[in-house]
Chain A
Amino acid sequence: MIKVDNIDFSYGSVPCLEKISLSLQEGKIYGLLGENGVGKTTLLTLLCGLKQVQKGSIEVDGFTPYRRDVKFLESQFYLPDEVSAENAKAEVFARSNGLFWPDFSIEKFMEIMGIFEMDPGKKMNAMSAGQLKKTWISFALACSTKYLYLDEPTNGLDIPSKAQFRKALMSYTREDSTIVISTHQVKDLENIIDPIIILDRRDVLLNASVQEITDRLFFDYGTTLNPDSLYSEQVPGGFIQVYPNSTGEDSKVNIEALFNTVHKHKDIIKGIFSHEN
């Protein structure tokens, strides 16, 4: 369980996150969405203890991340968007660095590399950006941590790798893990992320499961515009529109439309989801 309570963080005099509160539960794959520069990466680095909050507090299973207790560090893995090209063969790197995580398994690492069709004998500094990312993803998953933070994991992955990534993520993470994935590539992950968090600089605009979202909002893919639409967008064959769900009928979340709706009507959305936050 992660509890983020009213935190502030700024880079020098430039404010980044203000008064952010959030709680994250076990066994869920959170999608962390937000416009460029709202502080998604900053939030991830605060959660894993790379940065220190300036106000408020973060608690992860009772640990304060910035104290960096060994027990705490063993329980998490943060995979940044940009990863380092180590001067070592992938397998050798994984074997020696995996020692820091008690549940790391080299067999798992090799299996996940296999899913990605990667050669573990290749030197990491001789890899392409996409290959390097796949090696790091394999390593991150093989560490089997309770907390896993992935910053834009599908950036730079080629077309087949995206499905391989989804498969690896769900086959090799623990059932009780909390996974937080920040992403702009919503199409790559739309069926994986649930709940969805939409972050703004001074607010968490939404933190709700897909079921909560479709209970409250209806995503209409028809040809006629509804007067109650909060958001609509023309697509080939009609419209995608989003309006409050008054009939209780189920629909399929379109994450782009959801994101745009939430941004256009911050207050209305907060009202609709008020008892969730």
Chain B
Amino acid sequence: MEFDANRPIYLQIADVICDRVLRGELKAEDRIPSVREYGAEIGVNPNTVARTYDILTDRGVLYNKRGIGYFVCEDAAENIVKEEREKFLNEELPNFIKKARLLDISLDEINKVYKNS
């Protein structure tokens, strides 16, 4: 797996898992590989994968069945979308607007692109 140089690996792995849930490749109640299996597959320390599973558990994407492993939550996709929406509105959109203002791009121009794409 090729990683972005700037973002913590455990978050990048979390992104990949969330993407797979959103695309429907991972469905509710699917079992995901153990931290060691997944670590071996992508060439990453199992501790790092364990951190990924921890934050995804906090985010309501995965849950742990003691002694069996990690599974995808029933409402995983909804939880991801909810969080992504918040992130987009609070972080990405303000940056986008800042840049649009800097380049003197009007709301009309943005609207045109929004409608056409």
Instruction: Enumerate chain A interface residues (CB-CB to B < 8 A).
Output: 28-29, 163, 166-167, 170-171, 175, 191-194, 209-211, 214, 221, 250-252, 254
Contact = CB atoms under 8 A, between A and B. Distances in A.
A166 B46 CA distance: 12
A29 B3 CA distance: 20
Nearest to A249: B8
Contacts of A214: 8
A252 B5 contact: yes
Nearest to A172: B40
A27 to B, nearest CB: 8
Contacts of B9: 191, 252
A194 B5 contact: no
Interface string B35-51: 01001110111111001
Contacts of B8: 214, 250-252
Given A170-B40, A251-B8, A209 B3 contact: no
Given A250-B11, A251-B8, A252-B7, A167 B40 contact: yes
Contacts of A252: 3-9
Interface string B74-103: 000000000000000000000000000000
B44 A191 contact: yes
Given A170-B36, A170-B39, A175-B36, A192 B7 contact: no
B81 to A, nearest CB: 23
A191 B11 contact: no
Given A221-B6, A252-B5, A210 B40 contact: no
A146 to B, nearest CB: 16
A171 B6 contact: no
Which of A29, A170, A250 has the most B CB atoms < 10 Å from its CB?
A170
A194 B48 contact: yes
B45 A29 contact: yes
Given A170-B39, A211-B51, A193 B7 contact: no
Contacts of B4: 252
